[in-house]
């Protein structure tokens, strides 16, 4: 796969991971709300129990009935919330697993992309070095006229003054 394709795939994986993270956070908020409701139901049961005890101590039948009613309603509400909370726990675990799977997939693609980019850099470095080697090799080669034995020797201007015909 080319680096360009892997970059696109990485971006897609990032978006999928972000969506999965947002879904996980939403599921966690819903679960926390349900847990808070369950705690409120338990607190209502305690308040009903306290009202029942107060009604017994005061010998007030209305407080006793109200306390019993509050305890019963809170107990039913808690019984209703427990299976929902268990379902929300299962959904949260599933969302967490999905998020981790998407994160793993993104990181795998990033690893492949890094390797592809490294290979591309190495190939570019190799080509650049090859071009330098070729250039240097052409520069160091003698020209065709200077290399032939029939060609006259080149005389430098410094040498031309010291040679006089005899």
pTM of the model: 0.66
Burial 77-109 (b: 16+ CB within 10 A, else e): bbeebeeeeeebeebbeebeebbeebbeebeeb
Q: Tens of pLDDT along 87-134?
A: 999 999 999 999 999 999 999 999 999 999 999 999 999 999 999 988
Specify whether domain 3-140 bears CATH 3.30.70: no
Q: How much of the chain exceeds pLDDT 90, in percent?
A: 73
The yes-or-no verdict on residue 153 having pLDDT over 50 is: yes
Residue 166's pLDDT is: 46
Is 156's pLDDT higher than 70? no
pLDDT of residue 145 exceeding 70, the answer is: no
CA end-to-end span of the chain: 77
Flag whether pLDDT at 163 surpasses 60.
Answer: no
Are 67 and 48 in contact by the 8 Å Cβ rule? The answer is yes
């Amino acid at each position: 796969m080319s680096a360009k394709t892997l970059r696109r795939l990485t971006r897609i994986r990032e978006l999928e991971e972000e969506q999965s993270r947002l879904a996980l956070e939403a599921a966690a908020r819903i679960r926390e709300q349900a847990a808070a409701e369950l705690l409120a139901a338990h607190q209502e049961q305690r308040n009903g129990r306290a009202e029942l005890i107060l009604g017994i101590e005061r010998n007030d039948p209305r407080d006793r009935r109200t306390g019993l009613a509050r305890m019963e309603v809170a107990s039913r509400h808690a019984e209703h919330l427990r299976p929902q909370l268990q379902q929300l726990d299962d959904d949260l675990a599933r969302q967490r697993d999905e998020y981790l799977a998407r994160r793993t997939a993104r990181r795998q693609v990033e690893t492949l992309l890094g390797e592809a980019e490294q290979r591309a850099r190495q190939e570019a470095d190799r080509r650049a070095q090859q071009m330098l080697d070729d250039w240097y090799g052409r520069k160091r080669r003698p020209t065709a006229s200077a290399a032939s034995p029939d060609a006259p020797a080149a005389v430098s201007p410094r040498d031309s003054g010291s040679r006089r015909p005899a």
